[in-house]
Copies of this chain bind each other. A is one copy, B any other.
Amino acid sequence: MPRTSTKSAAPARRLASSYRLEDQVGFLLRRAYQRASSNLVEQIGSYDLTAPQYATLARLYERGPLSQNLLGRLVAMEPANIRDVVLRLKKRRLVATRRDPTDKRLILIDLTAAGVALVEQLIPIEIECTAKTLAPLKAGQKELLYQLLSQLAER
């Protein structure tokens, strides 16, 4: 079974000894998110939902009807992006949309009965998935990670 060696024939360059990609938080965060996301898709894969889609459904479940724009902010998605996610969820009849009667700019998004039922099925799975992602950490480290990540993510 051939596998290309991770060893390089050519020597590294000048500053290489004083710089490593692994020391950059962004790179570590990207890889950690990849792991968490793939765990989620693997766990809820049979429902054919992505992590952002699940987050959108979960937020609606928590908060009730929301304007598309506010929903986007609450799941950290730009207007152009939350739009596409809502369209896909709407196509699957997991959410429904209607115009706000008092503010005609707004599109109110809400879960359908099927959406509510799905979220209630998925929440326990997601909690288990989070536990799986955090499995490499010891008990005390998990709370610590939450605290640190929350500080980084705050706007």
Contact = CB atoms under 8 A, between A and B. Distances in A.
Nearest to A69: B4
Contacts of A148: 137, 141, 144-145, 148
Contacts of A35: 152-153
A112 B5 CA distance: 6
Contact of A137 (B8, B11, B32, B151): B151
Given A15-B123, A34-B76, A64-B13, A58 B4 contact: no
B6 A67 contact: no
Q: How many copies does the complex hold?
A: 2
B65 A8 contact: yes
A24 B126 contact: yes
Interface residues of A, number: 81
Nearest to A2: B98
Contacts of A133: 25-26, 152
A20 interface: yes
Q: Give the most central of A27, A39, A62: most B CB within 10 Å.
A: A27
A10 B19 CA distance: 52
A113 B13 CA distance: 12
A135 to B, nearest CB: 9
Contacts of A15: 61, 120, 123
